[in-house]
Structure 1
Amino acid sequence: MKTIAVISRKGGAGKTTLAVNLFAALRQAERRTVLADADPLRSTSEALRATPGDGGPVVETSASKLFALSTASARSGVERLVIDTPASPEADIVAAIKLADLCLIVARPTYLDLSAALKTLELVRQLSTRGMVVLNQCPPARRGAEPRSVAATLETLRFSGVPVAPRALRARLAYQNAIARGQGVVDYEPEGVAAAEVRSLAAAVEQQFVAEAAPAAANDAAAPRRARS
């Protein structure tokens, strides 16, 4: 099982919307996925309660219970655990980071969001966890060119050597309409541009796990040769 912590210590970045949509995309890709709502505001749970019928495995929890939830999920055959983390306190965020195989740090293309994201990424690195910044609520590109705010944010992140999701999520009404119906955009508007953005993010997440597994597989293959030499 792989665990993905969705993090933003800056309010309004769209952390919960991203967590809900990633969860929906992974389920659509036929990954057995659980969404852990560890944010005391319970925005994730409230959003998915609006779903007609079965909204999927969403668990209300807390930082102190994440390890037990992770253990139980792995034992029951869950493949992906997505954690909607609290914005504070830092101790609760640290608990999620320590448990995660990958941290998605959500940020809008603004100075304050970028500053908060870089501080969070430093914390992720200190805890030896893989991290990736996801730009969210970005203005749309025009004639193939990124708006100045997005271009400047991307340049700062790349100059800092920060891993960035290959596709930004744009400010689209579809995300809000989907949440209002208790859905991710991949269910609400499957052929829409927003759904394509989220599927791209889910694919980038999966690629991180493929890259992580490759060195281990190479080491395993080399072990018999070392034993014979």
Structure 2
Amino acid sequence: MKTVAVISRKGGAGKSTVAVNLAAALRERGLRAVLADADPLRSSSEALRAHSLSVVETSAAKLFALVTASSRSGCDVLVIDTPASPEADIVSAIKVADLCLVVTRPTYLDLAAGLKTIDLLRQLRAPGLIVLNQCASPRRGQEARVVSGTLETLRFAGLPVSGVALRVRQAYQMALSQGLGVVEWEPAGQAASETRDLTELVLERLEDGRQAWRPANDVARPGGLGAAQS
């Protein structure tokens, strides 16, 4: 079994939306995915209250036991929707994760919070991947200045940036309002496509098991941003 912690220390970054849609896309691929809602706000649990996807309300203190129980029950991937604070609870999630997804929007305040999370992963030598969320769509093949500026800053963060950006799309909120992931609500839509692409990337990194930390000039460049996503 593999465990993915979805992390954001800034409210509104879309952490829970990413966690819900990742879990739904994993299930679509035939994997047994369990979504662990460790966020006291219980956004994931509320969104999926009527869903057949396995959702467990938990806390940071119970994560180690939950990972053990999930593995024994035959779970393939445990997705943790982490709390935004306190730091000790975030650390608990990082320590049980095989991969940490750092979710950030391309804004100054989100980036500042994201860099603090990246520094925490660096201290713990934890494997991670930065996921840009709620990005404006490119115009004439060019990313918006705020997106390209964020990418330039993250280039020196020392953590790989996902080549798949999640764009601003109504489908994410429409799907959640129906208690669904976008791959279920609009299977042929662009939101579903980018969610599947991100899910494939996550699975590749989980299978690969490479160390996330590398010299700053060797950070994985986000080839799917501003071009065809991969």
Please tell me the residue identity of whatever aligns with 2:140: R
Distance 1:50 1:154 in 2: 37
Aligned mate of 2:108, from 100, 107, 111: 111
The answer to whether the 8 A contact 1:125-1:131 is kept is no
Distance 2:67 2:137 in 1: 37
The answer to whether the 8 A contact 1:50-1:181 is kept is no
Distance 2:96 2:187 in 1: 32
* Percent sequence identity over aligned pairs: 66
Q: What is the Cα deviation at residue 129 of structure 1?
A: 1.2
Distance 1:97 1:91 in 2: 10
Distance 1:164 1:151 in 2: 12
Superimposed CA distance per residue, residues 100-132 of structure 1 (whole angstroms, 9 cap, x where no aligned partner): 010000000011111111110111121121011
Q: What is the Cα deviation at residue 161 of structure 1?
A: 3.2
Superimposed CA distance per residue, residues 50-71 of structure 1 (whole angstroms, 9 cap, x where no aligned partner): 44xx2x1100000011111100
Distance 1:149 1:112 in 2: 12
* Higher Rg of the two aligned structures: 1
Superimposed CA distance per residue, residues 18-68 of structure 1 (whole angstroms, 9 cap, x where no aligned partner): 0000000111011111000000111100001144xx2x1100000011111
Are residues 1:172 and 2:166 paired? no
Are residues 1:124 and 2:121 paired? yes
In the TM superposition, what are the counterparts of 1:181-200 in structure 2 within 5 Å?
181-200=178-197
* Structure 1 consecutive aligned stretches of length 4 or more whose deviation exceeds 4 Å: none
Helix, strand or coil: the match of 1:103?
Answer: strand
The answer to whether the 8 A contact 2:115-2:157 is kept is no
- Gaps of at least 5 residues in structure 2 are 211-230
Considering fraction of residues, name the structure with more helix. 1
Are residues 1:138 and 2:124 paired? no
Distance 1:123 1:95 in 2: 12
Distance 2:40 2:174 in 1: 23
Helix, strand or coil: the match of 2:155?
Answer: helix
State the match for 1:82 in structure 2.
79
The answer to whether the 8 A contact 2:118-2:157 is kept is no
Please tell me the residue identity of whatever aligns with 2:28: Q
The answer to whether the 8 A contact 1:102-1:130 is kept is yes
The answer to whether the 8 A contact 2:3-2:77 is kept is yes
State the match for 1:201 in structure 2.
198
Q: Indicate the larger mover: 60-69 or 124-133.
A: 124-133
Please tell me the residue identity of whatever aligns with 1:175: Y
Helix, strand or coil: the match of 2:48?
Answer: helix
State the match for 1:23 in structure 2.
23
* TM-score for the superposition, normalised by structure 2: 0.89
Are residues 1:6 and 2:3 paired? no
* TM-score for the superposition, normalised by structure 1: 0.89
Q: Aligned pairs, how many? A: 211
The answer to whether the 8 A contact 2:166-2:191 is kept is yes
Distance 2:205 2:123 in 1: 19
Distance 1:212 1:167 in 2: 19
CA-based RMSD of the aligned residues comes to: 1.3
Helix, strand or coil: the match of 2:92?
Answer: helix
